[in-house]
Structure 1
Amino acid sequence: MKIKDLEYYQDLIKCQNFSQVASHFNVRQPTITMAIQRLESDFGATFFIRDHAHKQLHITQAGQQFANHVAVILNELNIAKEEIARTQSGRIRFGLPPIIGNYYFPALTPSLLRANLMQSLDIYEHGSRELLKMLEGGHIDIALLGSLDPLQRPRLQTQEFAQYPFNVIVGKQSPLAKKKAISFADLRNQRFIMPGSEFFHEQAFKHMCHGAHFRPHILFRTPDIHVIKALVAENLGVSFLTSLAIEPSDEVVALSLTDKEQPHFRLSLAKRATEVLSDREQELWQLLIKQNQ
């Protein structure tokens, strides 16, 4: 089986036209036809049916099933190329979500500097969902990730470090500031200032609102956690944040929740299960694990 045949096949699935595929790869149309015939012969199945009367190409069930596997095969080959090329560079592509980067990672930097690892890091700052896609797609090598559920993905090797509860934060002048803990249902009439939907806070927030049986009044959304805390400090609304993002120096009051079922912000280290770490990457992986034991 030729890799080029698989590339022809994937392109034919997309455009469903032999001439267009041939033009895209700058080859003659019989080249594409023979490639498809080879694949069909190898697997003993018909992948395409040509409707000459209507000039259409129909994909069979077997053809669609094979297309799913081809997509995985070609993706893994691309990842392999990137990983092998990266081993020559000595760089580590490291994923870091904003909240983890701002409130968790700074405490680790002295150890990374002493180990001469910081200068090897190319840091990619995105939300955990986007970093998950980048990690599985081979665009980064290692990532610190946040999640609400245990991070169990068949293509990843993960290690959970810690769990942080979610708190409600209010301004010091708010009547709620006198309390130490509240039920989420007590917030029914409050105005919320929340992180953007790219944060895991959104899923946790919806879970709590659903459990408390109310639709929240969202006053404002922003990806900047510092802005959220500043607005709450001005008593313009309340917010719902992981305790990881709340510091003693913040001019807000953090309230615990009394609800029985509460989500937690989980922090995990992750890499692709198929990736063989370089010496420097292995050193980084072990250092991060050691720092959190």
Structure 2
Amino acid sequence: MNIKDLKYFHQLVKNKNFSQTADYFGVSQPAITLAIKRVEIQFGSKLFIRDRSHHELQVTTGGYQLDQHIEQILNELMLAQKELERADGEKILFGLPPIIGTYYFPALTPQLLHQGLMDTLETFETGSQDMLQLLQKGELDSALIGSLTSIANHQIKAILLKSAAFKIIVSSKNPLADQKQIFFKQLKDQSFITLNEGFVHANAFKLMCERNDFKPKIIYQTDDVHILKALVKENVGIAFLTDLAVPETEGLTKIDLLDAQQPSFLVSVAYRANYLLNPKQRKLMKVLLADLPTKFL
């Protein structure tokens, strides 16, 4: 049994057809048959049942159980290949969600320059939920991630950097601008501009609407927080954003929420739990964690 046997097995579980599996890998059908026999001998278990009368292939309970483990093994091998290819690379593939990047990156720049890291950073921007998936797939070395709860994932090591409140953001032209505080339920008749799915904000907004039992009037959705804020500034609608996204100098009004139960925007630095950081990546982590009372590296 070898790695190819495991790949053949995993694909056969997916499509339950020897011919299709052979075509997928560009090999002969007997090659797939022999590979499956080797896997069954190795584990001493019947993994497939061939119903020749109905031309069907059924996966046994043991076959499905084994496939759960093989899928993890193949995924780990894929990650290992990507990590080895970048082990001695000059670049750090770093995930920087737009809102978090706007808040953190300018303040970090002097120290990153001092440490000689600016030229090594290759940054990728997308929403935090999508960023977490890229991290798990090995497409990134590390990332800043926004979330509503602590990141609980055995594949990911996450260190909390900051917690921030969500605010209602309105134009100075909006009548709500005179209010310092408001209950979310008072906004049920307002027009909202929101961030698309893939951003933590979408989940937080949905949670607040569900808790207050109303369906919001969303007039525009975007992936670009700058467009969102520009539209709010022109009083096209109001927004629900983390405090980090709206500096006081932007001419927008932030209103505190009075709700007893409301989510917080958590910012964490994350990387794969079994990933060994190279010296440059460790230097980056020390810069990111410099303000924390406990040193993690």
Scaled by the length of structure 1, the TM-score of the pair is 0.95
Distance apart, 1:119 and its partner CA: 1.0
Alignment of 1:117-266 (within 5 A): 117-266=117-266
Give the counterpart letter for 2:170 in structure 1: V
Distance apart, 1:69 and its partner CA: 1.2
Query: CA contact under 8 A between 1:171 and 1:235: conserved in structure 2?
Result: yes
C-alpha distance in 2 between matches for 1:68 and 1:104: 39
Farther-moved stretch of structure 1 (259-268 vs 44-53): 44-53
State the aligned residue count: 293
C-alpha distance in 2 between matches for 1:24 and 1:211: 48
Q: Which residue of 2 aligns with 1:40?
A: 40
Give the counterpart letter for 2:199 in structure 1: F
Distance apart, 1:54 and its partner CA: 2.0
C-alpha distance in 2 between matches for 1:289 and 1:50: 57
3-state SS, counterpart of residue 32 of structure 1: helix
Give the counterpart letter for 2:114 in structure 1: R
Q: 1:29 to 1:210 in 2, by over 3 A?
A: closer
Query: CA contact under 8 A between 2:108 and 2:287: conserved in structure 1?
Result: no
C-alpha distance in 2 between matches for 1:287 and 1:258: 35
Percent identity over paired residues? 43
Task: Give a deviation string over 1:103-158, Cα, whole Å, max 9, x none.
Answer: 32221122111111111112121111111111111111111000011112111111
Whether 1:95 and 2:92 are equivalent positions in the alignment is no
Farther-moved stretch of structure 1 (166-175 vs 265-274): 166-175
Give the counterpart letter for 1:284 in structure 2: L
Give the counterpart letter for 1:244 in structure 2: L
Query: CA contact under 8 A between 1:230 and 1:251: conserved in structure 2?
Result: no
Q: Which residue of 1 aligns with 2:61?
A: 61
Distance apart, 1:183 and its partner CA: 0.9
Q: Which residue of 2 aligns with 1:108?
A: 108
C-alpha distance in 2 between matches for 1:18 and 1:214: 52
Distance apart, 1:255 and its partner CA: 0.5
Query: CA contact under 8 A between 2:48 and 2:57: conserved in structure 1?
Result: yes
Query: CA contact under 8 A between 1:169 and 1:253: conserved in structure 2?
Result: yes
Distance apart, 1:292 and its partner CA: 4.8
Query: CA contact under 8 A between 2:128 and 2:199: conserved in structure 1?
Result: yes
Give the counterpart letter for 1:237 in structure 2: G
Query: CA contact under 8 A between 1:96 and 1:126: conserved in structure 2?
Result: yes
Give the counterpart letter for 2:77 in structure 1: L
C-alpha distance in 2 between matches for 1:89 and 1:234: 46
Distance apart, 1:211 and its partner CA: 2.0
Name stretches of at least 5 consecutive residues in structure 2 with no aligned partner. Answer: none
Farther-moved stretch of structure 1 (272-281 vs 31-40): 31-40
3-state SS, counterpart of residue 13 of structure 1: helix
3-state SS, counterpart of residue 289 of structure 2: helix
Give the counterpart letter for 2:183 in structure 1: S
C-alpha distance in 2 between matches for 1:178 and 1:27: 71
Distance apart, 1:291 and its partner CA: 4.1
3-state SS, counterpart of residue 290 of structure 1: coil
Distance apart, 1:90 and its partner CA: 2.8
C-alpha distance in 2 between matches for 1:206 and 1:158: 25
Q: 1:210 to 1:85 in 2, by over 3 A?
A: same
C-alpha distance in 2 between matches for 1:20 and 1:252: 58
Farther-moved stretch of structure 1 (67-76 vs 186-195): 186-195
RMSD: 1.5
Task: Give a deviation string over 1:223-256, Cα, whole Å, max 9, x none.
Answer: 2222222222222221111000011121211000
Q: Which residue of 2 aligns with 1:8?
A: 8
